[in-house]
Amino acid sequence: MNPNHDKPILLALFTLLLQLPNPINASPSPPITALYAFGDSTVDSGNNNYIPTLFRSNHPPYGRSFPAKLSTGRFSDGKLATDFLATSLGLKPTLPAYFDPSVKPLDLLTGVSFASAGGGLDDRTAMLSLTLTMDKQWSYFEEAVRKMKSVVGEAETNRVIKNAWFVISAGTNDMIYNVYDHVLGSFISVSDYQDYLLRNVEAFVQRLHDAGARRITVAGLPPIGCLPVQVTLGTVTLPRIFHKRICTENQNTDSQLYNQKLQKLNLRLSQRLRGSKILYLDIYTPIMDMIKHPHKYGLEETLKGCCGTGFLEAGPLCKPLPGTCEDVSKYLFFDSVHPTQKAYSIIATYALQKLLPLL
């Protein structure tokens, strides 16, 4: 067979494919201009360093895997998922905190984090920990928009916002403080409280849309019952003979219920807010997969943190002494609540695979 005979056929097929309409978008989506994060410690790059709160991580052993081993205020040994996203999108090496003094108005054009560790979707959660409420984070975003307009003008700022990726990651603290620890009292039911949190998500997404945002992603809850601190507290209630570290399944069931509701909300919002892409970021699945299949990821310890005993330490309780694990790459969690840089990298890769084609 003469391969040259196939060339006209291949050319015709290629031409036909080019002419077929894209069922999702009539034209390719514009490049992502910036990454903006709101929420809690999962996306706080260090804003809490600059407010009067105990919820800080700007001290060793935090940051031991970060460039120059800097304790930046990220609740991990290194980078967060949003840092990896910013790098993968070609925006910047890491996503800085809005309060970082080195962040200049021009830097705002490619993204920052407004998040605050200890915060939540329920403003009372942030008030309890003396951190930034979602309302306060929003006010700083508005301030950032004014700064950007002063540098590049209104039209360019609006273009950046329209094509930026907005990420909201919060809710875990709300569930732990209000539902499981009962710090804020009790709602009628877990489901009722989740509905309250989701109404706050809806209001925040609406705010973003009204400000010109069109690419918005809301992260679901992790398997809260598998966070080392929750495993520890759950184990305490078991008879001594059963003191084996296992996940608290009812809390994981609660997380799954919330995530199902969030996905339905995002779908409704996408239909209502025309021209917007309101997407769900599934963090439950990759974390649970690391717990169930640790060796697939080169992990050995999945229900205990690297810092100290790994049972309860986080924030100010996570200190250089009595020490940390030798090889943090073998751990899913760095302290009793927060994932390691390695885990965040896996979560970011999962997010990019699932979401980037949809943005």
DSSP state of 25: -
- For residues 187 and 217, the answer to whether their CB atoms sit within 8 Å is no
Residue 189 has pLDDT above 90, yes or no: no
* pLDDT at residue 184, rounded to an integer: 55
| 307 occurs within a structural domain | no
* pLDDT at residue 11, rounded to an integer: 40
Where b means 16+ CB within 10 Å and e means fewer, 257-293 reads ebbebbeebbeebbeebeebbbbbbbbbebbbebeee
| 15 occurs within a structural domain | no
15/10 Cα distance (integer angstroms): 9
Q: Strand 165-169 relative to strand 35-39: parallel, antiparallel, unpaired?
A: parallel
**Percent of the chain clearing pLDDT 90 (strictly above):** 82
Calculate the alpha carbon distances from 331 to 33, 87, 234, 249, 298 in Å. 33, 23, 20, 21, 9
Structure tokens, 78: 């290194």
Of the candidates 40, 47, 60, 117, the one whose C-alpha atom is nearest the C-alpha of residue 334 is 60
* pLDDT at residue 243, rounded to an integer: 60
Structure tokens, 280: 């769900």
Residue 276 has pLDDT above 50, yes or no: yes
Q: Per the residue annotation, which of 57, 335, 336, 345 is the catalytic one?
A: 335
Residue 48 has pLDDT above 90, yes or no: yes
DSSP state of 97: B
CATH of the domain at 104: 3.40.50.1110
The pLDDT tens digits of the residues spanning 198-236 come to 999 999 999 999 999 999 999 999 999 999 999 998 876
| 302 occurs within a structural domain | no
208/310 Cα distance (integer angstroms): 38
Work out the mean pLDDT of the chain and round it to a whole number.
90
| 147 occurs within a structural domain | yes
Residue 134 has pLDDT above 90, yes or no: yes
Residue 132 has pLDDT above 70, yes or no: yes
Q: Per the residue annotation, which of 40, 41, 45, 174 is the catalytic one?
A: 41
The pLDDT tens digits of the residues spanning 25-41 come to 345 678 999 999 999 99
* pLDDT at residue 6, rounded to an integer: 40
Active site annotation includes 335:
yes
Active site annotation includes 338:
yes
Structure tokens, 41: 């410690």
Residue 238 has pLDDT above 50, yes or no: yes
Of the candidates 12, 9, 70, 14, the one whose C-alpha atom is nearest the C-alpha of residue 45 is 70
Range of the structural domain that residue 78 is part of: 35-231+246-293+338-358
Number of domains in the chain: 1
| 323 occurs within a structural domain | no
| 16 occurs within a structural domain | no
| 309 occurs within a structural domain | no
| 310 occurs within a structural domain | no
